[in-house]
Structure 1
Amino acid sequence: MKKSEKPFVLGLLGDGQLAQMTALAARSLGMKTHVFASSRENPAAFVADEVTLGDLADEAALVSFAKSVDALTYDTENLPYEAICKAAAQTPAFPDPNILHIAQHRIRERTFLATLGIPIPDVAFITSEAECEHATRVFTFPAVLKTAAFGYDGKGQRVVREASELRDAWRDLGDQPCVLEAFVTFEREMSVIVARAQTGEMQTFGVIDNEHRNHILHASVSPSSLSATMQQEALRIAQTIAASLNLVGLLAVEMFATEDGRVLVNELAPRPHNSGHVTQCANALSQFHKLCLAVSGQALGAIDARPGVMVNLLGDLFPDGVEPIFRRVGFVEPPLAATPGTAVTAYFYGKQEARPGRKMGHLIAVADTVADAYEMAERAYQVYVHAAAVAGGSRV
């Protein structure tokens, strides 16, 4: 980008921490950012060059916002599809709104994956009393019932251990469209984040191993320790999906590695992903940089990587009485000294209120080996656990 050129203005729909970190990456690349935010107290509004306050359901406001930027991207798939399409008619939106439409509804998502021949867990769609009754007769239990829309971090889900529990579980979720999925006996949960440029250039950050606690991501480890065969299959699947969607931007593909050697797709997220935070320190260019480069029509750049581990810092770690360090924005001093060639960094989103399960920030450790990075990240994490315990409010 020549210095004489007008800076590229990236429009961000969604104002959470993913948009915040995208805005910071854009700034490091010489771009400007304009965020459509619901409040000036939300993470992206703290760092964007320009902020428009409004409601994402306001089509006229979105269209006006779109006219003010050079491209649009998102930090969530749960956006009003028709309004996003009208905004995209004014300025390019990446990924394409039709990809959002698929990813924001599990029935559409599972149908799309099945059409491609992508392996997924056994599934049944529940949209009526009749389908619910049919599933009790033909589906294998135990299973998990998930709302088709607006479920994340374990929300909108019910475990159904016996067929007789299905009807009550469906009613408990509001009689709304759901997917019923068979339990998967898995060895590992992992993700692959694909970046794809407007030219079709495609990169991945490799397979990232994920550890969940209470249905919320706790740690992400890169590179994966899965067998080379399973990693190659995971990469093949993710790249196949991205190419089939004609992706421009980012796509995170969440997967299971089963105990019998299969790779199954769990969910798609056409945006930056929590597991990709490790790339901020472990890679030459992070997932956020790749997104900015892709949507602005540039090449994706370097992919060099070192072993790294990311650990989420939730609101459980910050009870009343603990110094509100989470109100700061950006990278802060490491909580523990690192040895030469290694580093532990803390990043906070600037959220003003800590609540149990709420993501307030994360730690990233990098080292010469995954084992060293994991040990460093865990030691740093325990500093926060101990501080919360001393304050008497930790729920960890």
Structure 2
Amino acid sequence: MTPLAPGSTIGILGGGQLGRMLALAAARLGFDVAILDPEPDCPASRVCALHLCAAYDDPEALARLARMSGVVTLEFENVPAGALDILIRLGVPVAPGAHALAVAQDRVEEKSFLNAAGAPTVAFAPADSPEAAARATAELRGRVLIKTRRDGYDGKGQAWASSPEAAAEVFLSLGGRPVIVEAPAPFRRELSVIAARGWSGESAAFPLAENVHRNGILHLSSAPAVVTAGQATEAGRIADRILSGLDYVGVIGIELFELEDGSFLVNEIAPRVHNSGHWTQDGAATDQFEQHIRAVAGWPLGPVAARARVEMENLLGDSVQDWTAIAGEPNARLHLYGKREAREGRKMGHVNRVSPL
């Protein structure tokens, strides 16, 4: 792809906080941004050049976005696949592509792809009935995690089961939709790697982050994580296999389980900028949002070295009301998303607490 010149327009499907931060990063590089999002007051709508307020699969809105954009990207993986098909038929480059989206939207497809790409995961089995969920649980021999194949995020759409009978009940409690049944991972901590790949195949990975979740939602990310040189190399290899296997363009988030022997299993991938990469805004030479814009626009990737140690904390619900105290901390860098209503568990912003390496 010929690099987009400053002044070009980048289209983004999705206008939440990730779309907002992508738009801000694009503006720093001289790009205009057009957002397509059905919410009239979405966070990105107030920082972009144009907001197309329409459904993601609205043909007229997609045609308008395609006409004005040099490339179209996305801020979340649950965009209807048909929207990308329309954009591709209209001739506008889309990054990441439809294959990456299809893989990430279905947990069985995702784990099947990962294993084929040489990125190991826990044992798993698909199930589309209570009986199939019970059989899969019996075969995996023990406590299992059952997740809907599609649409789950932040701990939603999943539950544990300790027996085949319980698995059948969990299947029904999740709406009777197709699920994936996963063996538990005997991990000692959760890590993630944020990586990027350009149109010509060049790639770069940021230092790993160590993550702590509460109630299925990321609470803290600390980076750079303390890992061995071998672990850092292996995480980079895993990222390269995934990026190459998907023919990926843009930034991707890869969640890892570290086992007792120091090896990794891949938990899941996110074909977009990722919550555990927010530390890069104040701790890396190039942040993940600028890196994504560089990649999809055909620019050279930026340097990924850490320049500070960062602890990123998500601000959920009413915790955002502490903004005055946080803003007064000398080592804190506050990032608020402009959401009008604070609800329990809703991501309202994050704070990066910075210290020297």
Instruction: Report the Cα distance in structure 2 between the residues aligned to 1:225 and 1:35, rounded to whole angstroms.
Output: 38
Instruction: Report the Cα distance in structure 1 between the residues aligned to 2:262 and 2:272, rounded to whole angstroms.
Output: 28
SS in 2 for 1:312: strand
TM alignment of 1:1-396, pairs within 5 A: 7-90=7-90, 91-305=92-306, 306-318=308-320, 322=321, 335-338=327-330, 343-369=331-357
Instruction: Report the Cα distance in structure 1 between the residues aligned to 2:188 and 2:344, rounded to whole angstroms.
Output: 28
* TM-score of the pair, normalised by structure 2: 0.94
Task: Single out whichever of 259-268 and 343-352 deviates more from structure 2.
Answer: 259-268
Residues 58 and 170 from structure 1, CA distance in 2 versus in 1: closer, same or farther, beyond 3 angstroms?
same
Contact 2:193 2:254 (C-alpha < 8 Å) held by counterparts: yes
SS in 1 for 2:68: coil
CA RMSD of aligned residues (A): 1.7
Contact 1:145 1:169 (C-alpha < 8 Å) held by counterparts: yes
Residues 256 and 209 from structure 1, CA distance in 2 versus in 1: closer, same or farther, beyond 3 angstroms?
same
* TM-score of the pair, normalised by structure 1: 0.85
Contact 1:95 1:247 (C-alpha < 8 Å) held by counterparts: yes
Instruction: Report the Cα distance in structure 2 between the residues aligned to 1:289 and 1:6, rounded to whole angstroms.
Output: 14
Q: What is the letter of the counterpart of residue 145 of structure 2? A: V
Aligned to 1:381: none
Contact 2:57 2:82 (C-alpha < 8 Å) held by counterparts: no
Instruction: Report the Cα distance in structure 1 between the residues aligned to 2:338 and 2:95, rounded to whole angstroms.
Output: 26
Q: What is the letter of the counterpart of residue 121 of structure 2? A: I
Residues 30 and 227 from structure 1, CA distance in 2 versus in 1: closer, same or farther, beyond 3 angstroms?
same
CA shift, 1:130, in A, is: 4.5
Aligned to 1:382: none
CA shift, 1:334, in A, is: 5.4
SS in 2 for 1:206: coil
Contact 2:130 2:171 (C-alpha < 8 Å) held by counterparts: no
SS in 1 for 2:208: strand
Give the structure with higher Rg (CA).
Answer: 1
CA shift, 1:333, in A, is: 9.4
Instruction: Report the Cα distance in structure 1 between the residues aligned to 2:126 and 2:66, rounded to whole angstroms.
Output: 36
Greater relative CO (CA pairs within 8 A, separation 6+): 2
CA shift, 1:128, in A, is: 2.9
Name the % identity.
Answer: 37
CA shift, 1:257, in A, is: 0.4
Instruction: Report the Cα distance in structure 2 between the residues aligned to 1:175 and 1:346, rounded to whole angstroms.
Output: 42
CA shift, 1:170, in A, is: 0.3
